[in-house]
Amino acid sequence: MSLLYCITYAEVNNEVIREEALPPNVDIVTILWTLQNSQSCIDMLKAAYTVLKGDGHIFIQMGSRIFVPFKKPLGTYFSKLPQDDQPYHFSINTLQGVLAKSGFKIIMTNNYWDEDLLCVLAEKRPLTEDIEWYPDNY
């Protein structure tokens, strides 16, 4: 029997995440179309790290990322409407960096350059491990 758990937006972004409020250890956490819209992507990833088993994985999918070098004119990534603004815009390098800082190492990505989606599968690593990543340099 498998169980499905959902960490709500409010639970993830609480300043103090109580362990008793979290589900038991899980094998995989999925974050679909959410990380770039969160109030704190680090808090969301820390919550995912907390609930995952030691050999757990995280799958992230998003559509609003910035390519470096840019696939489209830069202005197409930003809206003039405040309700359309997103707190975060990720390139593959910046997503890899925020995952590394949160204890995850990317093991697979889709062919994001030719697709409209960026999909990443990462594995949980010990927080003491130094995970290599490269910042954007453009």
Q: Give the residue-averaged pLDDT of 62-91.
A: 62
Q: Nearest to residue 49, comparing CAs of 41, 40, 58?
A: 58
Residue at token pair 């590394």: 100
Closest CA to 117 of 12, 50, 33, 35: 33
Between 39-43, 93-97, 134-138, the lowest mean confidence (pLDDT) is in 134-138
Burial of 134 (0-12, 13-18, 19+ CB in 10 A): exposed
What is the pLDDT, as a whole number, of residue 10? Answer: 43
Residues of the chain with pLDDT > 70, as a percent, come to 64
- Residue 126 pLDDT > 90, yes or no? yes
Domain edges within the chain: 22-57+75-138
Flag whether the pTM goes above 0.85: no
**Could you read off the pLDDT of 14-35 as tens digits, one per residue?**
444 444 555 558 899 999 888 8
Average pLDDT over every residue of 48-74: 77
Burial category of 17 from C-beta neighbours within 10 Å (exposed 0-12, middle 13-18, buried 19 and up): middle
Cα angle 131-136-138, degrees, rounded to a multiple of 5: 160
Say which residues have a Cβ less than 8 Å from residue 56's Cβ, sequence separation at least 6.
25, 26, 27, 28, 29, 123, 124
Q: What is the mean pLDDT of the chain?
A: 76
The tokens for 92 are 């593959």
